[in-house]
């Protein structure tokens, strides 16, 4: 066998599974078709870490609860931004009050502490800037925000340092059952393995001699709604400090969350495709005086509810599938990874590695260092004293480090996401070209071979003969 275990897909689920399994004496590879892992996570790099109190599904609630507590520990260990800021769900009509009471009762039945049903006065004590006429609130002090991309990268770096082979730019085309184990065919190779952990959520590929695998699992309860996001800048005066969710009706809610860096994110879930003007009207139902000038960016995503399946019905043959999409998939990733890892280790009767390194190599964030510390780092490497992204104070040292690390960045997007450069108010107009040059130098590539994000996104199509530098 080429590998004991093949993990298919390098999103947050694949990376967390790779990390958990790398604690054991397995020979593991992860196959990802993109240039980078966790490429599908939103560029805002802020996710809510739920606590199991909001969902009606008991299984998801359990996974969220466990995921929340594992994630806090993991983020402390790997120095990933994680802030337990608390979330307040508010309603302004009797129907909404009934729903909050049901949620509260469920949380109590599930034994989730730190969840409180509160009156309008207490709501305004917690968040005086809420604009609506609130009747009741449900406050959970357990709910947090996390930087999901940093978490996925941390999982992957530690897994890589502990021997997991990350095979990027390889697309899985076919999975075949063998008498013992599987053959996985990619666009570049054929591998045999004992166990397949398939975390690809939607893609079409062939399984078992030409039979097309049933794609994404969609439960009866699932529904897809439009989610519009407004990224609000730090100059906005009336920002909310907690995660606030205001339910307007069965199909519409507004969510406001601080990000893990600067500014805040306002999400509007509705059934129709809303314009910027519509979104501002919705947002101002919750916030005071938000206007176009406060908006740094806007984007739209599909919102998915309750459509996940963790299928280990073929575990005896060595096949596990995690499929579907869910609004809390980042939250539950650590719980899923732990659960799958325990099952696989038991099934294969495997032992823990004695020399497992549960530590991420140090990352220096120049903007977070004090003057003395910053000077010490600059004395060691003067590139930390050269600022490339002036909006977010990102130094050349940080960019070089993010390229040279295990699973280092190979695209402009990879550098931006790992370091935070290019996400300031100039949207990268100052640093983009500098990043391209550093990537070319560090990867020993021609500047014309540097890509923004994926194979077909070359930044510079060809060279103009007269100029030596770009
Ligand atoms: C609008 C929105 C808001 C969200 N907010 C939150 C939140 O606040 N909190 C939270 O907990 N969660 C949240 N989520 C959920 C979360 O962001 C995503 O669902 C999660 O990142 C998905 O991770 P994944 O590993 O399952 O899938 P993906 O990230 O899609 O990873 C799958 C990987 O498989 C790769 N792949 C696909 N096909 C192949 C192939 N044939 N061969 C090899 N590789 C392949 C893909 O390139 C991809 O990298 C939100 C989701 C959405 C859409």
- Longest alpha-carbon distance in the chain: 73
Q: Specify whether 288 is located in the same domain as 313.
A: no
Asked if the structure places residue 240 within a domain, the reply is yes
pLDDT at 369: 87
Q: What average pLDDT score do residues 345-366 get?
A: 92
Is the pLDDT reported for residue 227 higher than 80? yes
Q: Specify whether 194 is located in the same domain as 245.
A: no
Q: What are phi and psi of 415, to 5 degrees?
A: -65, -45
Q: Distance between CA atoms of 248 and 267, rounded to whole angstroms?
A: 13
Residue with tokens 């909050």: 100
Is the pLDDT reported for residue 333 higher than 70? yes
- Lowest-confidence range among 86-95, 195-204, 260-269? 195-204
Q: What average pLDDT score do residues 90-107 get?
A: 95
Q: Specify whether 136 is located in the same domain as 236.
A: yes
Q: Specify whether 312 is located in the same domain as 298.
A: no
- Domain stop point among 295, 316, 347: 347
How many domains does the structure of the chain reveal? 3
Give the CATH number for residue 121. Answer: 3.30.9.10
DSSP 8-class letter at 368: G
pLDDT at 360: 94
Question: Is the sign of the CA dihedral 239, 242, 246, 252 positive or negative?
Answer: positive
pLDDT at 251: 83
Is the pLDDT reported for residue 220 higher than 90? no
Average pLDDT score over the chain: 90
Task: State whether the beta carbon of 13 lies less than 6 angstroms from ligand 1.
Answer: yes
Q: What average pLDDT score do residues 106-117 get?
A: 97
pLDDT at 250: 82
Give the three-class secondary structure for 286: helix
CB 252 within 8 Å of CB 38: no
Q: Specify whether 136 is located in the same domain as 107.
A: yes
Asked if the structure places residue 76 within a domain, the reply is no
Q: How far is CA 220 from CA 52, 173, 336, in A?
A: 21, 29, 22
Is the pLDDT reported for residue 218 higher than 50? no
How far does residue 24's CA lie from ligand 1's centre (Å)?
A: 25
Alpha helices in 116-193 (DSSP H): 120-126, 148-161
Position in ligand 1 atom list of the atom nearest CA 332: 11
Percentage of residues in the chain with pLDDT exceeding 90? 70
Asked if the structure places residue 469 within a domain, the reply is no
Asked if the structure places residue 274 within a domain, the reply is yes
Give the three-class secondary structure for 280: helix
Alpha helices in 50-119 (DSSP H): 58-78, 94-109
Q: Specify whether 415 is located in the same domain as 284.
A: no
How far does residue 41's CA lie from ligand 1's centre (Å)?
A: 6
Q: Specify whether 126 is located in the same domain as 250.
A: yes
Task: State whether the beta carbon of 70 lies less than 6 angstroms from ligand 1.
Answer: no
User: Residue 183 is part of which domain span?
Assistant: 3-42+149-216+308-347
CB 329 within 8 Å of CB 252: no
């Amino acid at each position: 066998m080429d590998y004991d275990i093949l993990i298919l897909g390098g999103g947050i689920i694949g990376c967390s599974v790779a990390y958990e399994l790398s604690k054991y004496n397995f020979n593991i590879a992860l196959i990802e078709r993109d240039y980078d892992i966790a490429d599908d996570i939103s560029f805002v790099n802020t996710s809510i870490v739920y606590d199991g109190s909001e969902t009606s599904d008991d299984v998801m609630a359990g996974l969220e609860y466990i995921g929340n507590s594992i994630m806090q520990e993991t983020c402390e260990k790997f120095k990933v931004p994680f802030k337990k800021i608390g979330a307040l769900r508010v309603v302004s009509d009797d129907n909404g009050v009934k729903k909050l009471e049901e949620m509260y009762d469920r949380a109590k039945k599930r034994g989730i502490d730190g969840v409180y049903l509160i009156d309008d006065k207490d709501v305004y004590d917690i968040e005086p800037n809420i604009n609506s006429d609130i009747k009741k609130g449900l406050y959970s002090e357990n709910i947090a925000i996390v930087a999901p991309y940093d978490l996925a990268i941390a999982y992957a770096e530690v897994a890589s340092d502990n021997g997991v082979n990350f095979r990027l730019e390889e697309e899985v085309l076919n999975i075949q059952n063998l008498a013992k184990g599987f053959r996985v065919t990619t666009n570049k190779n054929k591998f045999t393995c004992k166990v397949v952990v398939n975390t690809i959520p939607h893609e079409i590929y062939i399984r078992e001699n030409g039979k097309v695998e049933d794609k994404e699992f969609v439960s009866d309860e699932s529904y897809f709604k439009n989610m519009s996001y407004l990224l609000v800048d730090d100059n906005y005066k009336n920002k909310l400090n907690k995660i606030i969710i205001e339910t307007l009706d069965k199909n519409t809610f507004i969510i406001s969350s601080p990000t893990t860096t600067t500014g805040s994110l306002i999400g509007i879930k509705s059934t129709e495709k809303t314009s910027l003007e519509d979104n501002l009207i919705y947002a101002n139902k919750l916030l005071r005086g938000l206007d176009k000038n406060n908006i740094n960016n806007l984007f739209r995503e599909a919102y998915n509810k309750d459509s996940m399946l963790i299928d280990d019905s073929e575990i005896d043959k060595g096949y596990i599938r995690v499929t579907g999409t869910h609004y809390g998939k980042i939250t539950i990733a650590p719980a899923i990874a732990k659960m799958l890892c325990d099952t696989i280790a038991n099934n294969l009767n495997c032992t823990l590695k004695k020399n497992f390194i549960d530590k991420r190599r140090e990352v220096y964030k120049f903007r977070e260092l004090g003057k003395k510390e910053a000077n010490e780092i600059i004395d060691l490497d003067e590139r930390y004293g050269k600022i490339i992204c002036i909006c977010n104070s990102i130094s050349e040292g940080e960019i070089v480090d993010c390229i040279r690390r295990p699973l280092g960045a190979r695209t402009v997007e990879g550098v931006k996401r790992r370091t935070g450069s290019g996400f300031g108010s100039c949207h990268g107009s100052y640093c983009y070209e500098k990043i391209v040059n550093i990537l070319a130098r560090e990867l020993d590539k021609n500047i014309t071979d540097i890509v923004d994000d994926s194979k077909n996104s070359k930044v510079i199509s060809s060279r103009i003969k007269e100029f030596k530098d770009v």
